[in-house]
Structure 1
């Protein structure tokens, strides 16, 4: 008759694919773990990854080829950096779905921004361990306790960890403090608006991916999918669509918000909306962008507003000379604005601010002096 093929044999095959060891584990426990893992992954795929992924394939392939394949047996910290609304989270989600099966355990922790102290970070440590180890009753007394457990339990596991929207260096140490906390081949991906935070955590500049805005064709396709539910504008809406594309300047968030707002509206309504945008941008867009502004120190905020109102696209040396008459050593403030993706420098050494960030700055100034904006 031959050997009997048991449940134990089947489970051993399936579990070995997932990188799990069944030695001395009861079958019911393993079934529970496998089912939990499968449902967790399926739920993530269908709830988190969006359908309107215009331009994502090129960006994912860039990440895969240039950042995720280096030193396959080493542990790597990788950054995804860029201004708010640029699609960092979406990129990280797609990468997670694409490669998480290659690891012994994985975890995606979303929306870390603003979370600090034991009351927030201890639950995140528990989530990290629970997702990777498929265990629900993990006891952690405090942050240091959690650090010790993470180091002890994960040091021999090849893991994929994504920390999304990190805004404080102190959030990294309790969760992914050092490379030797994790097994060979592990990948820790951090999305943030603050480049300096990554550098503080010893992420090399070669392993920081700067999120890129959409080109004109990609922007038109994404906007059309929201505004017309198809890949291109309807007849009569082409020029108006191009006005919106120019206004959004390749920012995926703005294209989605504006496209959804203009869906199924008349040409006259579109014209009115475009005129209104020039006076007052959509609140949802400004809210996301203002998060970065709100995180600045007072002097950094002032210099951001100065650049928005007077110095966008001006030579950096010229701007620094002017600002030095108002502030002591403004170079450090300009560096911070660059690190937080609020300004960039062109090849011609000009300071550049995204059009919508400039509009945000002007809106803030108007709110400060509504009766006399020139002030």
Structure 2
């Protein structure tokens, strides 16, 4: 039986493909602790569109702890049956720094071409092998936590390195990296809304998404305000408080106001440490003085400090450290702001006058009355 010069089997194959794609896109996550993930998956799948036969590179970017890796791993698990080969390269930034790109190229090839051994010793040879061996293979590749364009050039190169229908997902904190590589589309997950944030925290703290006991409702609100919808913070704090009594909760919350959670801030600090010196200064000024102020005003102040704010602020935006709202004001997440302020405090824990920036009234009063302020210290109050 022939339909418009095509054999019946070809139509059946097309129909089966479309059905499998729909099943992938409507499959819901059953893990109760992954609150709010289904909407994110739906939005990401609309960009991936595995029903098309092109080769597509999709980036997902956002601040540390927003859930990029979790989202990519679930998408990878769900989509894997639709591809001939697959690989999830976790922590590309860290592995590349420790072991080099050649080790990542070998991992990519070994996971897609199972039971084969690859012996090469430089990235150019590795790139040539990837492009030759995978050019006719429909593959799914996830590159997690990329921070250098060389990672992309050496691991996924050009689209013709892979067979039709292949999909490549890249997670990063740096949107500019994705744009400069000319990815097909970018997905930016947002922080959790208040309802999902409460449900996620409850799962971690009480092993249930139901409303906690009366004694813990107000205490939970303090933690939720501190986390500001960041999944990492909700999971870390919920797990830490799980099984502890009310007195211990109150003590932990009081401590948070003075000493923020190290695990959370260390994860966020990765983005700061990768900045150039001018961008670090701009970031610290915004964290200490200007969060929520009008962009034009901040630009004028920073320009007077010769911090080159036109490029510097754009870098911070693209690295998911700040954003501009509809009123042209610059904002950073409260935990990112706290991370910046902690960096300043760490310069001199006991003597505020030796810090590069002062913003709290008690510290300003101390250095002025004790006459300990450094000529390099910026002060506002």
TM-score range, shorter chain: 0.7 to 0.9
What residue in structure 1 maps to residue 267 of structure 2?
288
Matches within 5 A, 1:252-267: 252-267=231-246
Distance 1:123 1:328, change over 3 A: closer
- Asked whether the equivalents of residues 129 and 135 of structure 1 are also in contact (C-alpha less than 8 Å), the reply is no
- Asked whether the equivalents of residues 219 and 250 of structure 1 are also in contact (C-alpha less than 8 Å), the reply is yes
* Matched position secondary structure for 1:166: coil
Give unpaired runs (5+ residues) of structure 2.
Answer: 1-29, 359-376
Deviations 1:284-303 (A, max 9, x none): 00110011111111111111
Q: 2:308 aligns with which of 315, 329, 338?
A: 329
What residue in structure 2 maps to residue 59 of structure 1?
40
- Asked whether the equivalents of residues 95 and 104 of structure 2 are also in contact (C-alpha less than 8 Å), the reply is no
Distance 1:197 1:50, change over 3 A: farther
Q: 2:147 aligns with which of 142, 167, 177?
A: 167
Distance 1:101 1:141 in 2: 32
Root-mean-square deviation (Å): 1.7
What residue in structure 1 maps to residue 193 of structure 2?
215
What residue in structure 1 maps to residue 68 of structure 2?
88
Q: In the alignment, is residue 305 of structure 1 matched against residue 284 of structure 2? A: yes
Distance 1:227 1:119 in 2: 37
> How many equivalent residue pairs?
324
Matches within 5 A, 1:1-375: 52-64=33-45, 66-69=46-49, 72-116=52-96, 119-204=99-184, 207-232=185-210, 233-370=212-349, 371-372=351-352, 374=358, 375=377
- 1:171: Cα distance to partner? 1.0
Distance 1:303 1:97, change over 3 A: same
Deviations 1:233-277 (A, max 9, x none): 223211111111111011011001111111122222212211111
- 1:139: Cα distance to partner? 2.1
* Matched position secondary structure for 1:348: coil
Give unpaired runs (5+ residues) of structure 1.
Answer: 1-48
Length-normalised TM-score, structure 2: 0.82
Distance 1:201 1:264, change over 3 A: same
Distance 1:111 1:186 in 2: 21
Distance 1:333 1:200 in 2: 17
Distance 1:230 1:129, change over 3 A: same
- Asked whether the equivalents of residues 114 and 167 of structure 1 are also in contact (C-alpha less than 8 Å), the reply is no
Distance 1:71 1:178, change over 3 A: farther
Length-normalised TM-score, structure 1: 0.83
**Range with bigger deviation, 237-246 or 187-196:** 237-246
Distance 1:96 1:75 in 2: 16
Distance 1:71 1:225, change over 3 A: closer
Distance 2:67 2:273 in 1: 20
Distance 1:328 1:295, change over 3 A: closer
Distance 1:117 1:363 in 2: 26
- Asked whether the equivalents of residues 271 and 319 of structure 2 are also in contact (C-alpha less than 8 Å), the reply is yes
* Matched position secondary structure for 1:101: helix
Distance 1:225 1:103, change over 3 A: same
Distance 2:249 2:229 in 1: 19
